[in-house]
A and B are shown apart, each in its own frame.
Chain A
Amino acid sequence: MRIDCPNCGSRDRREFQYLGAAVLMDRPAPDAGEQAFVEYVYFRENPAGAHRELWLHEMGCRSWIVAERNMGTHEFASTRLAADVKRGAK
């Protein structure tokens, strides 16, 4: 498996560490209540198709990356720096 790091280009999967679904970008407000945090931390769509997820280019430039990847084929549709995605979301 190879992953396109937005900085470094195509690199071997072994340079990256996977975290989980990209919903982790949207931490609830501190006063959102316990249930909101339970949903945020534990419950997942876990789709069999397109999946937005977070990877860390651990052994490379150490960027957190938001990838869109198909869970059935492992094919990556896009990769973006998480910081850019987050800033864009604001």
Chain B
Amino acid sequence: MVDLVAKSPHSGLLPLSAGQLTLTEAAPAFVSSIQARQGKSSALAKALQASHGLTLPEVGKVTAATDHRLLWFGTDQYLLIGAAPAAPSLSEFAALTDQGDAWAVMHLVGAGAAEVLARHCPLDLRTERFGIGQTARAPLADMPAIITPIAQGFEIMVLQSLSRTAVHHLHQAMLSLAAQASLI
């Protein structure tokens, strides 16, 4: 039998640091899309509560349990991160797809993380408007991305085929901000 070795989209790219800032890989064990079937949102909510202990997040929000969480992704669409979906019980009310290999997940952390992200992302990143418990899909240097605030920084998800470009842009911005931090 062939032995296939998995490779991370960030292999050879991360971690990186500049000044106070770090960019590290944060690959979750599972990512799945969950899309409610027509008219089945509340049934799905109950099923998710029962199987994963999670409530359906409101628009732009995240609900979390200890080791997994649910991100709002679009109208009646969610990403379940960190746990495999309880397929049989959920499938009745939702379409599921495995997204565990589709996304490259990074953590950008440190003082000035928002400034780094603001080099390439038009979101309003001010903490009081976009804090922990929230999530947003937004462009990062013209690439689709999912941005989720975490302690002292952001979780950034980009499509795996674009990870190299995303890391390149974030790294350049980290270097620039680190240099500007030393400017009076």
Contact = CB atoms under 8 A, between A and B. Distances in A.
A–B: direct contact at CB < 8 Å? yes
Interface of A: 7-12, 14-15, 59-63, 81, 83
Given A8-B59, A11-B122, A15-B122, A62 B139 contact: no
A7 B122 contact: no
Contacts of B123: 11
B169 interface: no
Interface string B96-139: 00000000000000000000000000111000000000001111
B139 A7 contact: no
Nearest to A9: B60
Given A7-B59, A14-B122, A63 B137 contact: no
B137 A60 contact: yes
Contacts, number: 36
Nearest to A64: B75
B15 interface: no
28 contacts: A7-B59, A7-B60, A7-B74, A7-B75, A8-B60, A8-B136, A8-B137, A9-B60, A10-B124, A11-B123, A11-B138, A12-B122, A14-B139, A15-B122, A15-B138, A15-B139, A59-B137, A59-B139, A60-B136, A60-B137, A60-B138, A61-B73, A61-B74, A61-B75, A62-B74, A62-B137, A63-B75, A83-B75
Given A7-B60, A11-B138, A60-B138, 9 more contacts: A7-B59, A8-B59, A8-B136, A11-B122, A11-B123, A14-B122, A14-B139, A15-B138, A59-B144
